[in-house]
Amino acid sequence: MTNDDDRVDTLDPTDEVAVDPGTPTEGASAAPRIRPQKPARPERTSRSSGIGGLIAKIALLGLLDAFAVWTVFVMVGLHMWIPVGVTVLVTGVINWIYLGRGKRLPAKYLAPGVSFLLLFQVFVVVFSGYIAFTNYSDGHNSTKEDAVASISSAGAKRVPDSPAYQLSVLQRGAPLYLLVTAPDGTASIGTTNQPLKAVNNAEKDSTGRATGLPGYRSLNLSEVLDQQDAITSLKVPVSSNPNDGFLRTDDASTAYVFKSDLTYDATADTFTDSNGVVYSDNGKGEFQQVDGTKTLSPGWKVDVGLQNFVKAFTNPQLAGPLWKVIIWTFVFAFLSVATTFALGLFLAIVLNHPRLRGKKIYRVLVILPYAFPAFLSGLVWAGLLNPEFGFINQVLLGGAQIPWLTDPWLARLSVIGVNLWLGYPYMFLVCTGALQSLPEEVDEAARVDGASPWRIFRSIKLPLLLVSVAPLLIASFAFNFNNFNVIYMLTRGWPRFTDTTLDIGSTDLLITMVYKVAFGQGGVRDYGLASALSILIFILIAIISIIAFRKTKVLEEINS
Amino acid sequence: MKKRPFNLLRWFGDTGWRHLVGIALVVVAVFPLLYVLSASLNPGGSLVGSNALFSTIDAQNYVALFTNPDQPFALWFLNSMVIGLVTGVCTVFLGAMAAYAFSRMRFRGRRIGLLSLMLIQMFPQFLAVVAIFLLLSAISDVFPALGLGSQLGLILVYLGGALGVNTYLMYGFFNTVPVSIDEAAKLDGASHAQIFFSIILRLVAPILAVVGLLSFIGSTGEYVIASVVLTDPSSQTLAVGLYTFVSQQFSNNWSIFAAGAVLAALPVVALFLALQKYIVGGLTAGSVK
């Protein structure tokens, strides 16, 4: 085995001489194009990458495996069983791919890119689909267990006769821990979400206060001051029963027991407050007062079926604006493609003339908008079009007060115009390329037959051009359907609709609406609803693409 | 003498009007860029003060850009460059490996693989921004270094889009490199890895440059995912940072923003112009097959 490696590396010249005369015939007879990987030699090819490659491979695989093992340990600690399974499976498959030889060769080249693709593009889409059927949102973003713990600790008051616990702040990794010494001298450690656990190997100072623990780092005074906010926000449960209360500190030296006036009854699954009012699980991810509408916050995540989709199309706050947004998204995408293509094609025809001087200079200058980062263009145009101070109104229109970005229709016009400025260079480049590849003879033959230039263009050049450019036009439509940057940077989707209190406006596309619903300022971040809208976009794009590609295939067949 | 006016008319009908159209569009294309440059050199600062083009020239905005702690421009710039470069290089590498496999090897599922890549790339990643956010926040629990707020995490997300259209561009180009070169190398005893790294990658350098540049431009200008993942101002990219900076006090921060825009656009525009020839080739490769 090593002998084989050696021969390849060191005795290259002789190897070449020995092999050369024999193999050409073999290569010529055995259909060279179809099987670059000949079955006769996979063993040799996979082994001859040399010692360096082998070491690199082992090192990388080793790193990956070590990382995987560590991840699994952490995830087991957090009881994340499904991710553990997936990690073990994926690591196993990757090892199997890279430790094998022969048939697994294509997989070796595909595995890295495909892993990223599966996790961050395919999985997230599937995950979006799942979120769309839940009530995932601010106040509903965790499990019921967490919600119970959170309700139990919210609105807590210090227990009147609570003893004082001496404490030290420790750190392991990023999280902070409280090491407390009870009045009876026992030391225990814990942090938010991790109830107190007694420890007997703590280091103690002369007063009997526990100050350190092996494996943890004690914070000194200045570090404690730096992280005061983080320390005072720690809530360390006294035990795993939320009704026992939790420890909190205000000064990072003494902690007291705090308890909520709401007590949780695990068997009945209800909360009872100090006045005896009972709150029970209402099936919608919240605890609700039995004979009333008051609910406790936070709630937790539950599956809600089609509720998000129903809400999007029936809620009076949402349905009307949503329809307008959908229509505008289609109009915007269509007009964007139409205007940029028309201008780009026109410019390509104008500048694609054999005797035109300075063609190259024109070409570089007119594609500059394409080279300028799109997010900056949006902001720059927002300045230029500013109704009060912008250059367009102040200088070009002599101080007019045209509300370019604040009137619904003018704002829509501005968005289309700015997108035309941004997008025509791409179409210009594409059309120039396509025009140059059209055969000259067709043109000449038509001219001999006496066709006018316009007629030649309309009946001959344009159809031929469309065949090659159609797929790009579809791609461009899909791109503009989701053209987030232009809208968000130029108008932020505004001017806002007056018939809803939500932050939705006349120039909002579906994608900017998704973003605002999920991450907008003010109001509830509704991840479930946003995902439902995302799914809607996915479906719309899929339908459009299928129809469009069918149509263009027809186009292609007609012309060929 | 008699011929002259006739000639002028002919010239105008033939190419002269083309110059008019060209010049008109050049003005429209270049004007906003000149305006930004002018505003960036205007010490006035506000939007209305920027309307007198090139009336005063002063570098004060550029100084202010690097001295205001509320708007750590230097960090944003550095972050954008690092994220863009790492994403670009890794995208090229991942895409090239996939394209090599699709172009040079025949295996089961190859056609389906190519087809699914084409389908998947129709759906831009940022549509699933909510799911990406929740996935990263789950990763934060296990690995704070890869989760929300982490630039490495953001790069990994971007690499999810490394295949797709890039693989397509490269696949087409790889196919133009004759297979006989691989076979000759194989006869000389080169392994598939040696052929890939030392022969093919060099021959397809132009398409690697295009894909790298497109990925660089894409990731430095990306706003949606970056704004959700990078919450701390010091870790943000130019797109996120400049947007929040200018959206808060639009009119007053204008000329400082303009200076930032000029600096942010410079590397991208320079790279674009330098690689223009290849980019045009790459774009039209899709249309003219």
Res. A376: pLDDT tops 80? yes
Residue B6 has what pLDDT?
63
**CA distance linking residue B274 with residue A203, whole number of Å:** 65
H/E stretch holding A280 reads strand A278-281
**CA distance linking residue A377 with residue A372, whole number of Å:** 7
DSSP 3-state assignment of A303?
A: strand
- Find the Cα–Cα–Cα–Cα dihedral A207, A209, A213, A216, rounded to 10°: -120
- Best CA proximity match to B218, nearest among B268, B156, B280: B268
**CA distance linking residue A216 with residue A199, whole number of Å:** 13
Q: Which residues pair with A167 in a beta bridge?
A: A180
Give ∠ CA A25-A29-A30 in degrees, rounded to 5: 115
Residue A341 has what pLDDT?
95
Q: Is omega for the bond preceding A237 within 30 degrees of 0, making it cis?
A: no
Res. A556: pLDDT tops 70? no
**CA distance linking residue B254 with residue B45, whole number of Å:** 6
**Structural tokens at position A458:** 């309309």
Residue A424 has what pLDDT?
93
Res. A558: pLDDT tops 70? no
Residue from the list B28, B94, B191 with its beta carbon closest to the beta carbon of A48: B191
Q: Which residues pair with A197 in a beta bridge?
A: A189
Name the least confident of A44-58, A138-152, B172-186. A44-58
Q: Is there a contact between B15 and A530 if contact means CB atoms under 8 Å apart?
A: no
pLDDT in tens, B110-128: 888 888 888 887 788 888 8
Q: Is there a contact between B36 and A127 if contact means CB atoms under 8 Å apart?
A: no
- Best CA proximity match to A120, nearest among B158, B14, B216, B247: B158
Res. A27: pLDDT tops 90? no
Share of residues in chain A with pLDDT > 70 (%) = 88
**CA distance linking residue B223 with residue A504, whole number of Å:** 19
Res. B36: pLDDT tops 60? yes
**CA distance linking residue B129 with residue B144, whole number of Å:** 19
- Best CA proximity match to A544, nearest among A465, A449, A480: A480
**CA distance linking residue B281 with residue B289, whole number of Å:** 12
**CA distance linking residue B101 with residue A419, whole number of Å:** 38
Name the least confident of A342-356, A433-447, A471-485, B26-40. A433-447
Beta strand pairing call for A156-158 and A210-212? unpaired
Average pLDDT, chain A: 79
Residue A39 has what pLDDT?
42
Q: Is there a contact between A368 and B30 if contact means CB atoms under 8 Å apart?
A: yes
The amino acid at A216: Y
Q: For residues B130-157, b (16+ Cβ closer than 10 Å) or e, as one string?
A: bbbbbbbebbbebbeebbbbbbebbbbb
- Which residue does chain A place closest to B121, by CA atoms? A121
**Structural tokens at position A452:** 């006018």
Greater pLDDT, A126 or A245 = A126
**Residue B230 Cα, gap to closest chain A Cα (Å):** 13
Res. A20: pLDDT tops 70? no
Range list of β-strands (E), A96-186: 156-158, 165-171, 176-181
pLDDT in tens, A464-482: 888 888 888 888 888 899 9
Task: Give the count of beta carbons closer than 10 Å to the beta carbon of residue A440.
Answer: 7
Task: Calculate mean pLDDT across residues A50-66.
Answer: 85
Residue B121 has what pLDDT?
78
Task: Calculate mean pLDDT across residues B268-286.
Answer: 76
Which residue bears the tokens 């065949």? A467
**CA distance linking residue B32 with residue B29, whole number of Å:** 7
**Banded pLDDT at A337 (limits 50, 70, 90):** very high
pLDDT in tens, A225-240: 878 778 877 888 888 7
Q: Are A84 and A72 in contact (CB under 8 A)?
A: yes
Task: Calculate mean pLDDT across residues A264-278.
Answer: 75
**CA distance linking residue B45 with residue B250, whole number of Å:** 11
Task: Calculate mean pLDDT across residues A310-331.
Answer: 90
Q: Is there a contact between A120 and B160 if contact means CB atoms under 8 Å apart?
A: yes
Which of A196-205, A538-547, B248-257 has the highest mean predicted lDDT (pLDDT)? Answer: A538-547
Beta strand pairing call for A278-281 and A287-289? antiparallel
Residues within 8 A of B (CB atoms), A 239-278 only:
none
Q: Are B219 and A38 in contact (CB under 8 A)?
A: no
Residues within 8 A of A (CB atoms), B 105-144 only:
105-107, 110, 113, 120, 122-135, 138, 141-144
- Best CA proximity match to A377, nearest among A339, A324, A415: A415
Residues in contact with A285: Cβ distance below 8 Å, sequence separation at least 6, in sequence order: A135, A140, A144, A299, A300, A301, A302
A-chain residues within 8 Å CB-CB of B161?
A: 117, 120-121
Residue A409 has what pLDDT?
92
**CA distance linking residue A208 with residue A189, whole number of Å:** 15
3-state secondary structure A90-117: HHHHHHHHHHCCHHHHHHHHHHHHHHHH
Q: Is there a contact between A45 and B191 if contact means CB atoms under 8 Å apart?
A: yes
Phi–psi pair at A501, nearest 5 degrees = -90, -5
Which residue bears the tokens 């943890």? A216
- Best CA proximity match to A285, nearest among A272, A298, A270: A298
Residue A41 has what pLDDT?
42
**Banded pLDDT at A34 (limits 50, 70, 90):** very low
Range list of β-strands (E), A17-84: none
A-chain residues within 8 Å CB-CB of B273?
A: 364, 371
* Eight-class DSSP state of A525: -
**Banded pLDDT at A49 (limits 50, 70, 90):** low
**CA distance linking residue B256 with residue B244, whole number of Å:** 13
What's the Cα-to-Cα distance from A438 to each of A203, A384, A535, B124, rounded to whole Å? 84, 40, 41, 32
Q: Which residues pair with A254 in a beta bridge?
A: A166
**Residue B74 Cα, gap to closest chain A Cα (Å):** 17
The amino acid at A256: Y
- Best CA proximity match to A369, nearest among A321, A425, A330, A410: A425
Residues in contact with A278: Cβ distance below 8 Å, sequence separation at least 6, in sequence order: A270, A271, A272, A289, A290
**CA distance linking residue B98 with residue B211, whole number of Å:** 13
Mutate to test the interface with A, among B127, B152, B263 (most CBs of A within 10 A): B127
The gap from C-alpha A532 to its chain's centroid, in whole angstroms, comes to 15
Res. B173: pLDDT tops 80? yes
**CA distance linking residue A472 with residue A476, whole number of Å:** 6
Q: Looking at the complex, does the CB of residue B256 fall below 8 Å from at least one CB of chain A?
A: no
| Gyration radius from chain B CA atoms | 24
Res. A32: pLDDT tops 50? no
Q: Is there a contact between A347 and B25 if contact means CB atoms under 8 Å apart?
A: yes
- Best CA proximity match to A317, nearest among A493, A138, A497: A497
Which residue bears the tokens 């390509």? A348
Greater pLDDT, A153 or A342 = A342
Q: The sheet that has A263-265: what strands, in order across it?
A: A263-265, A270-272, A278-281, A287-289, A295-296
DSSP 3-state assignment of B287?
A: helix
Res. A60: pLDDT tops 50? yes
Q: Is there a contact between A355 and B224 if contact means CB atoms under 8 Å apart?
A: no
Residue from the list A12, A373, A432 with its beta carbon closest to the beta carbon of B220: A373
Residue B174 has what pLDDT?
87
**CA distance linking residue B228 with residue B221, whole number of Å:** 14
* Eight-class DSSP state of A505: B
Name the least confident of A3-12, A329-338, A466-475. A3-12
pLDDT in tens, A95-121: 888 887 767 888 888 888 888 998 888
B-chain residues within 8 Å CB-CB of A48?
A: 189-191, 194
**CA distance linking residue A496 with residue A388, whole number of Å:** 19
* ipTM computed for the complex: 0.88
Res. A36: pLDDT tops 80? no
Residue from the list B106, B135, B251 with its beta carbon closest to the beta carbon of A389: B251
Q: Is there a contact between B284 and A75 if contact means CB atoms under 8 Å apart?
A: no
Question: What pTM, to 2 d.p., does this model score?
Answer: 0.79
**Banded pLDDT at A335 (limits 50, 70, 90):** very high
**Structural tokens at position A423:** 């997008």
**CA distance linking residue B162 with residue B89, whole number of Å:** 10
Length of chain B (residues):
289
**CA distance linking residue A332 with residue A477, whole number of Å:** 9
**CA distance linking residue A163 with residue A255, whole number of Å:** 9
Name the least confident of A10-19, B53-62, B194-203. A10-19
Res. A4: pLDDT tops 60? no
Task: Calculate mean pLDDT across residues A379-406.
Answer: 84
Share of residues in chain B with pLDDT > 70 (%) = 92
Phi–psi pair at B222, nearest 5 degrees = -75, 130
Q: Is there a contact between A12 and B123 if contact means CB atoms under 8 Å apart?
A: no
